[in-house]
Structure 1
Amino acid sequence: MIRIVLVEDQAMLRDSLVCTINAQQDMEVVAAFANAADALEATRRTGATCALLDVCTENDSSGIVAARLIKEEMPDVRVVIMTGLPEITFVDGARKAGVDSFVYKNVGTGELLGIIRSTMEGYSTFPWRSSASSPTAWSFPKSR
């Protein structure tokens, strides 16, 4: 079972993701909230195996900072960062923080669920810009 801590500051999206994820046979949201500053403690407390973190959250808290703290303390926890903002520095910052995968919120829920599953299997997904300048994602085995 993939045990997920979810951080998303938009309540409607957070609630929708909780319902979608909990409807999966192999996934469960063990904590969901709006502030990334709470992610490390929630991951510790719940024994989560995955953290799905928005980049920009309540109180100007950063999912990327939370990801770095989680990976430093619990390197086996997989971290997926998501954002709706096509800011390339977020991708670079996520890589430096040790994030396992990065996804833009313009993907469908089926694709997001697939990215979570592949990340848990050791693959890493990060966007890149094609010649048309639209974000595209590629998955590849994460080097250990």
Structure 2
Amino acid sequence: MIKILVADDQALVRGGLVAVLNLESDLRVVAEVAHCGEVLAAARRTDPDVALLDVQMPGDEALPDGLAVAAALRKAVPGCRVIICTTFGRPGYFARAMAAGAAGFVLKDAPPESLVEGIRRVHVGLRAVDPELAAESLAIGINPLTEREREVLRAARLGRGAAEIAKALHMSHGTVRNHLSSAIGKTDAANGADAARIADNNGWL
């Protein structure tokens, strides 16, 4: 029996995944959570073989999203294999997931049998990834942005100007402008908002 943890903040999606997986005779969902901060405790309590993690779940400063959770989970429960299960097939997300130690990356619009087969594959030590997404990730290359640049662009994505970003992130106005300028150059964008859009579309934020 393959024990599975399902982490997704959308109740309908989470419930659907649980129902589909529990129909399989060799799969059993042992935990389901809706917040990044709940995953590690649930994994330690239930010792799952595979964890299905959404990317964009509510989190905190330590664990802001499913990709951060994936890395933490691999350290906290080494025997648990991780599959990222997301709506967003972004090359940057794929690259970050692999760097975090995930064994699989599955899109939510894939057929249920693909997810089931993916779980079985990672459980025996194989990978379960979309070959087209993997190829696209390789073509785009690694994330060129520094952590500070990503932080500034995440704030810019909310429509904040440099002065607002500086206040929110406790940086000087000049430092924010420098980070924005660097990010604009790295993304070949027209301005800060455009850089944030490009970086977000590539899954770099």
TM-score when normalising by structure 1 = 0.84
Match of 1:11 in 2: 11
Match of 1:112 in 2: 115
1:93 paired with 2:96, answer yes
2-side partners of 1:119 and 1:74: how far apart? Answer: 15
TM-align CA RMSD: 1.6
Higher RCO, 1 or 2 (CA under 8 Å, sep at least 6)? 1
Greater percentage in helix: 2
2-side partners of 1:19 and 1:79: how far apart? Answer: 19
- In structure 1, runs of 5+ residues without a counterpart are 134-144
Give, in angstroms, the shift of residue 121 of structure 1.
1.2
- In structure 2, runs of 5+ residues without a counterpart are 137-205
Quick one: which of 69, 72, 75 aligns to 1:72?
A: 75
Q: How does 1:14-33 map to 2 (within 5 A)?
A: 14-33=14-33
1-side partners of 2:132 and 2:49: how far apart? Answer: 30
Tell which structure's C-alpha radius of gyration is larger: 2
Give, in angstroms, the shift of residue 106 of structure 1.
1.7
Give, in angstroms, the shift of residue 21 of structure 1.
1.0
Letter in 2 for 1:49: D
Contact 1:64 1:94 in 2 (8 A): yes
The percent identity for this pair of structures is: 33
Q: How does 1:34-73 map to 2 (within 5 A)?
A: 34-59=34-59, 61-73=64-76
2-side partners of 1:125 and 1:97: how far apart? Answer: 15
TM-score when normalising by structure 2 = 0.60
Match of 2:106 in 1: 103
Greater percentage in strand: 1
1-side partners of 2:58 and 2:127: how far apart? Answer: 27
Number of residue-to-residue matches in the alignment: 131
Give, in angstroms, the shift of residue 5 of structure 1.
0.8
